[in-house]
Structure 1
Amino acid sequence: MLVIRKPRDSEVKTLAALEHVCFPKAEAAPSDVMRARYETFPDNFLVAESDGVIRGYINGCSAATPKIEDRMYHDASLHDSAGDYLLVFGLGVHPNAREHGLAGTLLRSYISLARKRGQKGVGLTCKDHLVHYYSRFGFQDMGQSDSQHGGTTWHDMQLIFDRDGQPAGLVQAAGAGQTEGSDA
């Protein structure tokens, strides 16, 4: 049975290791950065667990705008607990657990978290090949990002809620497909 939950402090090392399995070295957050993030904004972390094993995760800070700046990836102090937007720094699913909808389930749970908090939306960056994936969840491609994170070209993606807290212009979100997400 799949459970989406907040991780425990003792699981941060597992999340850091999973990050390095899911992302290239230049893009993956070092374990000390993952630890600093967790200590600063633990309520912005979710994990997907099945059979007692963490299969995937999503995390990011809250901010005043839906646009991620590169410095945010490495400096947890830039988290704004009153921020209007929930950002996605990393969405990763272990390669052995992909193609089962876990990334989509985590992303929908994260979107729901932002909505329940009364935030205005969710922002992330993604590579070209993932623009369509995120658009299925209602994210709009805002064009090429200023981000240089990991030496890669990124797209800024934003999901802005309407006045009722629903994703504006949402197209029916399909299953997970590709599982690599935003980065760090």
Structure 2
Amino acid sequence: MSALTFRQAVPADAERCFEIESIAYEGEEAATLAKIHTRISNYPQGFLVMQTEGKTIGFINSGCAHAVVMSDEAFKELVGHDPVAPNVVIMSVVIDPAYQGHGYATAMMQTFVKQMRQAGKQTIHLMCKERHVALYAKQGYRYVKPSASDHGSMAWHEMVMDL
């Protein structure tokens, strides 16, 4: 594994993050460039960028809520987001496909969880496809239920980690 660095996103990261999101996610599940810009500008503390050799190769972005409704599509644009709320909602966990399979997603997730603990958050929520449920379970998330969301016309599963 190459040396990794992690930092908070800045507006100049939006184009590269959009590029990664567009090639890593299927169909309409990828966030638009406008949504990525909104997430960076409205909650940079919840937007973690991972780099190796100065190149951005992955990121996690999130928002915070007092009451989590995972099927709330407006929340993906941070409508209802409150940075001081205790519950983190992850919207994207993405690695450039050219860098997948090297343990980078695990390293990035562990760094993100550590930062959210340090920020005093209580839970981290996410939705994933069925094939990723076991991966997140190994990271410490517990399965909640099949999601009511049909984001990108796909089936999703809700998971949560208590911090």
Query: Do they fold alike, i.e. is TM over 0.5?
Result: yes
Please give the secondary structure, in 1, of the residue aligned with 2:27. Answer: coil
Contact 1:57 1:90 in 2 (8 A): yes
Give the aligned residue type for 2:89.
L
Superimposed CA distance per residue, residues 13-51 of structure 1 (whole angstroms, 9 cap, x where no aligned partner): 111111101101310011011111111111111111011
Q: How far, CA to CA, are the matches of 1:67 and 1:159 in structure 2?
A: 15
Q: Where do 5+ consecutive residues of structure 1 fail to align?
A: 162-184
Q: How far, CA to CA, are the matches of 1:4 and 1:74 in structure 2?
A: 23
2:70 corresponding residue in structure 1: 68
- Tell me how far 1:139 sits from its aligned partner: 0.5
Q: Where do 5+ consecutive residues of structure 2 fail to align?
A: none
- Tell me how far 1:109 sits from its aligned partner: 1.2
TM-score normalised by the chain length of structure 2: 0.93
- Tell me how far 1:73 sits from its aligned partner: 4.8
Match for residue 37 of structure 1 among 36, 39, 51: 39
Superimposed CA distance per residue, residues 137-183 of structure 1 (whole angstroms, 9 cap, x where no aligned partner): 1101011011111111111100012xxxxxxxxxxxxxxxxxxxxxx
Contact 2:23 2:96 in 1 (8 A): yes
Contact 1:46 1:110 in 2 (8 A): yes
Runs of at least 4 residues of structure 1 off by over 6 A?
none
Please give the secondary structure, in 2, of the residue aligned with 1:77. Answer: coil
Q: Does 1:120 align with 2:109?
A: no
Q: Does 1:18 align with 2:14?
A: no
- Which of the two has greater strand per residue? 2
Q: How far, CA to CA, are the matches of 1:74 and 1:134 in structure 2?
A: 20
Give the aligned residue type for 2:31.
A
RMSD: 1.3
2:149 corresponding residue in structure 1: 147
Count of aligned residue pairs for this structure pair = 161
Superimposed CA distance per residue, residues 92-113 of structure 1 (whole angstroms, 9 cap, x where no aligned partner): 1011111111111111111111
TM-score normalised by the chain length of structure 1: 0.83
- Which of the two has greater helix per residue? 2
